[in-house]
Amino acid sequence: VFPPELRFGILKISNRIFNWFSSYCYFDITEIDGVNTNELYNAVQLYLSSSASITGSRVSLTRALNSSGFTYGLANNDSLVDSFNGITAYWEHVVTQRQSQTFSWRPLPDEKRGFSLKIKKKDKAYILKYYLDYVIEKANDIRRKNQDRLLYTNSRGGSLDSRGHPWESVPFKHPSTFDTLAMDPSKKTELMADLRDFADGQAFYQTTGRAWKRGYLLYGPPGTGKSSMIAAMANYLGYDIYDLELTEVNTNSELHKLLMKTTSKSIIVIEDIDCSINLSNRNKPNKKKQFETVQPEMRNAGGEDGGNSITLSGLLNFTDGLWSCCGSERIFVFTTNHIEKLDPALLRSGRMDMHIFMSYCSFPALKILLKNYLGLGEGDIEKNVLNELEEVVDEAKMTPADISEVLIKNRRNKKKAVLELLVALRVKKAEKNRIKNLIDVEEEEEEEEQEKRTLESPKEGGELVENCIKGNEELEEDLVMN
């Protein structure tokens, strides 16, 4: 009976009246905004997938490319209630059929999808200011967690890929975690708390005016778990790893370019830094090499430090100069087997925030290895064997890598594995003691030899006797005075 214009008008007025009296307001977040994909829609979808309060019996499941996990979300026309700082938000996934295919450069899906957010009018300002940012942040976290970690390397000698990128990446699937890492539990807890503080510390770094980065120096003998620790850090925080091969970098500017192409939430690693490059002289360590390689007419050219070779100052700029601040939330990890070879400039505080010594296997670390490799707890091992293991492990100075080799070899026969380990530790301890005794004997002999030579030498011997007499006279004088 009523013409469409009139029906539309009545609907519009009744909607206005309804909105006027309603205490709620609504936001529509459509999947496609004009012709572009709406990032907020994807973020909301991911965010809601983390909500445990999905009530519907139908849940949508997805698995993204390069992802090792499933995400679930609200099914069509399902709804859920979320709460944020005491404010309630009602979400509904609205799916309708697209009326007619409108003209578009890009074919649109038949369904029109979107989220409808219903909140109290009084909460509108707060929700717009904080809640949506929180939703996006959480969605990014979930995306990162679901996606495989990537391991980047620059080992192509400075050449770029087809996209002009200097880093090459592969999926990173190292299984090492802090649970599998054998080290002193208190040290491990301290490090994990430090990493968590760093990852959650955006506000702290902002208020203190510090760049959001942290440096760790891992040092210790080979096979004590430095590389495993880096993998555990990446898996714990969900960060990608950039394995920087310094020997492939020729100039400081190349180093800067590499840094600029790293992403936030990543760990930049330089392994065996003492072997990577000659870093003993901070200013111009490679001057000689530079003059050897550069043509005579080019000798006065070049930028900082000659601009033709990587220097320690270039590396220091990389870690804590202005360049280190392009991007944020980055961790630098250097590893070395010989900390004494490193330049003190690299070790001063503020540069490497934490120095972590990866030591030979201790008893607490051994217990972790026994649990992980053989599934044996303290109660599963005979008391006297356990006591002896505790007694010998420190003196044997075996690395976790050596111990895990022994355990892997016999892992089918757990009892045998433990006994073999005990034998290996005893042998190693005896070997260490024998070497120590040999060194002691050698030192003693050398001392005796030196004494003999001194006494035999007329000049030195005479001096020694004279000094003794002088000393005695002084002593006598002191006694008389007293």
Binding residues (CB under 6 A) for ligand ATP: these are 180-183, 222-228, 337, 358, 400-401, 404
In the complex, residue closest to ligand ATP by CB: 225
Q: Please say which residue, 89 or 358, places its beta carbon nearer to ligand ATP.
A: 358
Q: Please say which residue, 278 or 372, places its beta carbon nearer to ligand ATP.
A: 372
Helix (H, G, I), strand (E, B) or coil at 124: helix
Q: How far is the CB of 99 from ligand ATP (least distance, A)?
A: 60
The DSSP code sequence of 245-291 is -GGG--SHHHHHHHHHTPPSSEEEEE-SHHHHS--SSSS-TTHHHHH
The label of the residue with tokens 């004088």 reads: 477
Identify the H or E element spanning 26. strand 24-30
Length of the chain in residues, anyone?
482
Q: How far is the CB of 158 from ligand ATP (least distance, A)?
A: 24
Contact 242, 267 (CB under 8 A): yes
Q: How far is the CB of 183 from ligand ATP (least distance, A)?
A: 5
d(C-alpha 312, C-alpha 213), whole Å:
19
Half-sphere exposure (Cβ direction) of 401: Cα atoms closer than 13 Å? 12
Tokens of 431: 């070997």
Q: Please say which residue, 140 or 180, places its beta carbon nearer to ligand ATP.
A: 180
Q: How far is the CB of 255 from ligand ATP (least distance, A)?
A: 22
Q: How far is the CB of 362 from ligand ATP (least distance, A)?
A: 10
Residue environment code for 142-167, b if the CB has 16+ CB neighbours within 10 A, otherwise e:
bbeebbebbbbbbeeeeeeeeeeebb
Tokens of 91: 């979400």
Q: What is the CA radius of gyration of the chain?
A: 34
Q: How far is the CB of 97 from ligand ATP (least distance, A)?
A: 56
d(C-alpha 229, C-alpha 233), whole Å:
6
Q: Please say which residue, 74 or 267, places its beta carbon nearer to ligand ATP.
A: 267
Q: Please say which residue, 324 or 404, places its beta carbon nearer to ligand ATP.
A: 404
The DSSP code sequence of 319-376 is HHSGGGGSSSSEEEEEEES-GGGS-HHHHSTTTSSEEEE--S--HHHHHHHHHHHH--
Q: Please say which residue, 119 or 277, places its beta carbon nearer to ligand ATP.
A: 277
Q: How far is the CB of 479 from ligand ATP (least distance, A)?
A: 60
Q: Compute how many other C-beta atoms are within 10 angstroms of the C-beta atom of residue 258.
A: 21
Q: Please say which residue, 54 or 233, places its beta carbon nearer to ligand ATP.
A: 233
Contact 3, 9 (CB under 8 A): no
The DSSP code sequence of 179-242 is TT--S-HHHHHHHHHHHHHHHT-HHHHHHHT--SEEEEEEE-STTSSHHHHHHHHHHHHT-EEE
Q: Please say which residue, 67 or 362, places its beta carbon nearer to ligand ATP.
A: 362
Q: Please say which residue, 401 or 419, places its beta carbon nearer to ligand ATP.
A: 401
Q: How far is the CB of 233 from ligand ATP (least distance, A)?
A: 12
Backbone angles phi, psi at 73, to 5 degrees: -145, -175
Residue 390 CA, chain-centre distance (Å), reads 32
Q: How far is the CB of 176 from ligand ATP (least distance, A)?
A: 7
The label of the residue with tokens 């356990």 reads: 386
Q: Please say which residue, 73 or 225, places its beta carbon nearer to ligand ATP.
A: 225
Q: Compute how many other C-beta atoms are within 10 angstroms of the C-beta atom of residue 402.
A: 19
Q: Please say which residue, 140 or 362, places its beta carbon nearer to ligand ATP.
A: 362
Q: How far is the CB of 231 from ligand ATP (least distance, A)?
A: 8
d(C-alpha 101, C-alpha 203), whole Å:
47
Q: Please say which residue, 150 or 370, places its beta carbon nearer to ligand ATP.
A: 370
Q: How far is the CB of 331 from ligand ATP (least distance, A)?
A: 17
d(C-alpha 379, C-alpha 362), whole Å:
19
d(C-alpha 397, C-alpha 404), whole Å:
14
